[in-house]
Amino acid sequence: MKTVLVTAIGSATVDAVLSSLKRNVNLIGCDIYPRHYLTGVDSFNKFYNVPLAIDVKAYTKAIFDICTQNNV
């Protein structure tokens, strides 16, 4: 099974992204906002809270770590 990381899952486009993906994928979502602020977060197999992308080093490290830990 393929694993897909979707960033900015709190955005308005997340529904379109989810509907375009095949059902047989492991969905991982991340956003700068906490899980309880987001609608649709339950559509993902895992959720990660990440730092703002303006902090390039911290954001890049977080995304890299998520991808490494989950074989994305």
Residues 61, 66, 72, 59, Cα dihedral to 10°: -40
pLDDT per residue as tens, the chain (72 positions): 788 888 888 877 777 777 777 677 888 999 999 999 988 888 889 999 999 999 999 999 999 999 999 999
0.85 exceeded by pTM: no
- Give the number of domains in the chain: 1
Which domain, by its residues, includes 31? 2-69
* Rounded Cα distance, 23 and 36, in Å: 24
